[in-house]
Amino acid sequence: MNATVTEQLTRAGRDIEHESFAIIDREAGPHGYTPEQWPIVRRMIHATADFEFNGLTRFHPDAVRAGVEAILAGRPIVADVEMILSGLSQPRLAHFGVATHQFIADADVIAQARIDNSTRAVQAMRKAQRLGLLDGGIVAVGNAPTALIEAVRLVREEGARPALVIGMPVGFVSAAESKAALAARADVPWIVTDGRKGGSTLAVAALHALLALAEARRKA
């Protein structure tokens, strides 16, 4: 089988990945996800070896379509932390002309967070909005619940319209609540993991799955 840009670069690597996916399919058994949603959940399980994401992961009805179309259009990805950007495959992103952004370590973001007594994650999302990166882009949150809470506020109060919000922050303070707030929205597509479980690894896995789905759409 010929490799595509969204797969492992060596035959041995592809064989291992495909065998892993087959094992997950067998062990997961019946599930309630659509054929478009399951590759995302399966890759999240693959990244964590945690089958609880078969059930914990929920999708807005338009989530997969919107995410794939944003990638095919070369729209930006805005992440809450550098860890997500470090985990993403640069060749896969470049294949679609997708740029990535995160602002949590920027000096102006830190300074404003101190002035407002807020978190850097909040100010980073506000900076992305000021720069016009949220509308039509993909927001990926894997670490900071306050980033997701702010993204939801920007949608609700300032009319921000991301193509897709991947809400998967992990933690004990506001993580579950931030994802529930996102999942209550009908005006922006989303993918969430219910409860405390989440993490940047999951956000990366979801994005890589969307990149693979975009490549399949392009070749169809």
Specify whether 46 is catalytic. yes
| Count of alpha carbons within 13 angstroms of residue 95, beta-carbon side | 15
All structural domains of the chain with their residue ranges: 11-219
Long-range pairs for 111-119: beta carbons < 8 A, 24 or more residues apart: 118/146, 119/144, 119/146, 119/147
Helix (H, G, I), strand (E, B) or coil at 116: helix
Query: Which of 31, 46, 95, 101 is flagged as catalytic?
Result: 46
Token duo for residue 105: 């370590």
pLDDT digits (tens, 9 = 90+) for 178-206: 999 999 999 999 999 999 999 999 999 99
Q: What is the DSSP string of 40-72?
A: HHHHHHHHH--TTHHHHEEE-TTHHHHHHHHHH
pLDDT digits (tens, 9 = 90+) for 74-109: 999 999 999 999 999 999 999 999 999 999 999 999
Kindly report the pTM of this predicted structure. 0.93
Which segments in the chain show pLDDT lower than 50?
A: 1-2
| Count of alpha carbons within 13 angstroms of residue 120, beta-carbon side | 15
CATH of 11-219, one of 3.40.50.10230, 3.40.50.2000, 3.40.190.10, 3.40.30.10: 3.40.50.10230
